[in-house]
C-alpha cells in the first residue's frame, strides 16, 4: 500500500537533484505546449487590447514565431537571464503592438522577469533602466494606436512588473544571505572543532608528559638508592608512553579527512578513570579513588568530559603537589555526573613541568558547552579542589 507514496517521494527527490538547465528546459517546453492551448489563452498578461488581425486564433506565422519567442528563451532563464528577458520582452511588445491574439505564452514574460531579478548578476541597473524606458515607449505607442487602456491601467501593469522583479531580487538576496550564514556556520563549526582538538591535545600531552617526567625522576632516584626497583619505574614510563601514543592516534584520527566520526570505543571514557588513577599512583602520587552510585551509559561527550576533568586535576596534582594525598570522587546520578578531585597539603615551590595556564580554562569551556559547571580553587586546608557537574541523562 505504501509503494505509490514511495514512488512519488523518489520522483520528487529525483527532480530536486536535476540541474537548473534541465529544469529550465522542462519549464520552457511545458510553457510552449500550453501556449497553443486555446482554453488557456486568456491566462496570459495583456495590456494593449488593440484590434486583432484577421489571421486566425494563432495569429498566423508571425504570431507563432512571437509566441515561441516568448516561451523557448525560458530554457536559459537561469544561465542567461538577461538574454532571456530581453528576447521575451521584445516578443511581448511586438505582439501587443501588432495586436496578435491572447496566448498563455505571454506568461513567459513574467517568468523571465522574475528569473532576471533572481539570477542576473551584472548590469542589473542598466537592464532595469532599459526595460523601464522600453515599457514607457510601449505604453505611448499603444496609446497612439488607439488602445482603450488609460494611464492608470498602464501604471498598474507596470507596477505589477516591478513587483515581480522585486520578488526575484528578494529571492536573490535571501539566497545570498543564506549562503553567508552557511559559510559563517561552517567557520564557527571549524573553529569550535579546532578548539576542541586543541583542548584534547593539551589534555593528552600535558598529562602523560607530566607523568613520564615524574616517573623518570623517580626512576633516577631508584637507580641511585635501590637499583633493583628501578625497573618498575622504567616500566611505568613505557606504559605511560604507550597510553599517550594510543590517545594521540585517536586524536589524529579525528583530523583525517574521512568524514567518519570518532567511535565511542576509541575515545577515553569513564570506564578508564581507573587507568588514570593507577598511572598517577605509579608516578608516586598517593591517590584514593571513590565511585558512588551506579555507572550508567551516557553520551560520548559527557563521559569524555568527566574523564578529562579527572585527568586534568591529576595532572595538576602531579605538577604542583607531587607526593601530596589526592582524593578522586566520581558520583553517578540519574541526570548528571559529579566529579571532585581534592589535593591536600601545600603546593611545591617549583612545578615539575611548566604550566601553560590553559588546562582548567579549556576544561571549564568544555563543561559549560554541555550545560554543566566547573569550579576550581584553593581550600582552607591549603589544598586544591576541582569540582564539576556534567549533565547527561543515562541512555
Asked if residue 14 has pLDDT above 80, the reply is no
Q: How far apart are CA 206 and CA 208, in angstroms?
A: 6
Helix, strand or coil, per DSSP, at residue 209 = helix
110 confidence band (pLDDT: 50, 70, 90): very high
DSSP class of residue 42 equals G
Average pLDDT over residues 10-35: 75
pLDDT digits (tens, 9 = 90+) for 357-375: 456 777 888 888 888 999 9
Number of Cβ atoms within 10 Å of the Cβ of 68: 17
Average pLDDT over residues 114-133: 91
Q: pLDDT tens for residues 307-365?
A: 888 888 888 887 778 788 899 999 998 888 999 999 887 665 555 444 444 567 778 88
Of the ranges 134-143, 361-370, 381-390, the best mean pLDDT one: 134-143
Q: How far apart are CA 287 and CA 309, in angstroms?
A: 15
Largest CA-CA distance found in the chain, in angstroms, rounded:
120
Give me Rg for the CA atoms of the chain: 38
Provide the pLDDT for residue 43.
Answer: 82
What's the mean pLDDT in 300-307? 85
Q: Which residue did the predictor score with more confidence, 299 or 90?
A: 90
Determine the Cα–Cα distance for residues 43 and 158; give it in Å rounded to an integer: 18
Higher pLDDT, 211 or 255: 211
pLDDT in tens, 178-199: 988 988 888 887 777 777 777 7
pLDDT at 266 over 50: no
pLDDT at 217: 65
Mean of the pLDDT values across residues 280-303? 84
Kindly state the average pLDDT of the residues 301-312: 86
Q: How sure is the predictor about 99, in pLDDT bands with cuts at 50, 70 and 90?
A: confident
pLDDT at 265: 46
What's the pLDDT at 197? 72
Mean pLDDT for 153-174 is 92
pLDDT of residue 163: 94
Strands (E), the chain: 287-292, 326-332, 336-343, 373-379, 383-391
Predicted confidence at residue 159, as pLDDT, reads 94
Give the residue among 175, 163, 47, 72 at the shortest CA–CA distance from 113. 163
| pLDDT above 70: percentage of residues in the chain | 71
pLDDT of residue 1: 45
What is the rounded average pLDDT for all residues in the chain?
79
What pLDDT score was predicted for residue 2? Answer: 46
Highest mean pLDDT, choosing among 53-62, 252-261, 376-385:
376-385
Q: Which pLDDT belongs to residue 338?
A: 93
Q: Give the pLDDT confidence of 218-249 residue by residue, as tens digits.
A: 666 656 666 666 666 666 667 767 676 666 66
Q: What integer pLDDT is reported at residue 70 of this predicted model?
A: 92
**Looking at the chain, how many residues does it have?**
395
Identify the pLDDT of residue 51: 73
Encode burial over 154-181: b for 16+ CB neighbours within 10 A, e otherwise: beebbeebbebbeebbeebeeeeeeeee
Amino acid at each position: 500500500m505504501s509503494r505509490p507514496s514511495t514512488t512519488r517521494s523518489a520522483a520528487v527527490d529525483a527532480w530536486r537533484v536535476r540541474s537548473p538547465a534541465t529544469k529550465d528546459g522542462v519549464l520552457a517546453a511545458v510553457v510552449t505546449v500550453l501556449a497553443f492551448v486555446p482554453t488557456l489563452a486568456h491566462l496570459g498578461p495583456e495590456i494593449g487590447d488593440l484590434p486583432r488581425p484577421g489571421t486566425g486564433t494563432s495569429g498566423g506565422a508571425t504570431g507563432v514565431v512571437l509566441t515561441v519567442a516568448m516561451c523557448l528563451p525560458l530554457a536559459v532563464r537561469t544561465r542567461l537571464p538577461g538574454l532571456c528577458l530581453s528576447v521575451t520582452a521584445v516578443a511581448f511588445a511586438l505582439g501587443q503592438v501588432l495586436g496578435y491574439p491572447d496566448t498563455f505564452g505571454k506568461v513567459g514574460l513574467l517568468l523571465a522577469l522574475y528569473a532576471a531579478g533572481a539570477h542576473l548578476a551584472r548590469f542589473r541597473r542598466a537592464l532595469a533602466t532599459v526595460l523601464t524606458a522600453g515599457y514607457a515607449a510601449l505604453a505611448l505607442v499603444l496609446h497612439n494606436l488607439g488602445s482603450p487602456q488609460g494611464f492608470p491601467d498602464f501604471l498598474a501593469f507596470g507596477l505589477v512588473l516591478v513587483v515581480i522583479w522585486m520578488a526575484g531580487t528578494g529571492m536573490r538576496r535571501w539566497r545570498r544571505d543564506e549562503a553567508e550564514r552557511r559559510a559563517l556556520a561552517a567557520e564557527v563549526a571549524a573553529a569550535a572543532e579546532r578548539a576542541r582538538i586543541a583542548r584534547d591535545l593539551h589534555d593528552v600531552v600535558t598529562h602523560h608528559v607530566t607523568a613520564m617526567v615524574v616517573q623518570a625522576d623517580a626512576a633516577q632516584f631508584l637507580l641511585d638508592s635501590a637499583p633493583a626497583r628501578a625497573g618498575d619505574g622504567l616500566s611505568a614510563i613505557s606504559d605511560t608512553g604507550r597510553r599517550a601514543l594510543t590517545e594521540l592516534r585517536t586524536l589524529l584520527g579525528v583530523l583525517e579527512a574521512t568524514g567518519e566520526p570518532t567511535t565511542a570505543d576509541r575515545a577515553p571514557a569513564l570506564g578508564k578513570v581507573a587507568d588514570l588513577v593507577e598511572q598517577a599512583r605509579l608516578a608516586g602520587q598517593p591517590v584514593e579513588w571513590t565511585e558512588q552510585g551506579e555507572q550508567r551509559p551516557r553520551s560520548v561527550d559527557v563521559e569524555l568530559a568527566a574523564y578529562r576533568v579527572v585527568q586534568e586535576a591529576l595532572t595538576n596534582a602531579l605538577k604542583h603537589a607531587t607526593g601530596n594525598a589526592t582524593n578522586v570522587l566520581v558520583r553517578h546520578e540519574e541526570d548528571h555526573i559529579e566529579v571532585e578531585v581534592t589535593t591536600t597539603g601545600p603546593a611545591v615551590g617549583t612545578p615539575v613541568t611548566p604550566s601553560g595556564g590553559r588546562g582548567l580554562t579549556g576544561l571549564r569551556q568544555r563543561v559549560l558547552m554541555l550545560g554543566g559547571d566547573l569550579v576550581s580553587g584553593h581550600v582552607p586546608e591549603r589544598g586544591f579542589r576541582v569540582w564539576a557537574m556534567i549533565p547527561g541523562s543515562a541512555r
